[in-house]
Amino acid sequence: MKTYIVLLRGINVSGKNKLPMSALREVLNEMGFQNVQTYIQSGNILLDTDEEKVMITQKIREAIALKFGYDVPVIIRTIDEWKKAIQNYPFSLENEKIVAFTFLDTPVEEQKIEVNGIKEDQYQINKDIIYLHCPSGFADTKLTNNLFEKKLKVIATSRNLRTTLKLLELTKT
Which positions ≥6 away from 41 have C-beta within 8 Å?
A: 11, 12, 13, 21
- The structure's pTM equals 0.94
Looking at this protein, which amino acid is placed at residue 144? Answer: T
**Region for residue 166 given its phi and psi (left: phi exceeds 0; alpha: psi -120 to 50; beta: otherwise):** alpha
Is the pLDDT at 117 greater than 90? The verdict is no
Please report, for the chain, the start and end positions of each structural domain, with discontinuous segments joined by +: 2-79, 83-170
Domain range 2-79, CATH class: alpha beta
pLDDT band at 115 (very low <50, low <70, confident <90, very high): very high
- Per-residue pLDDT tens digits for 46-63: 999 999 999 999 999 999
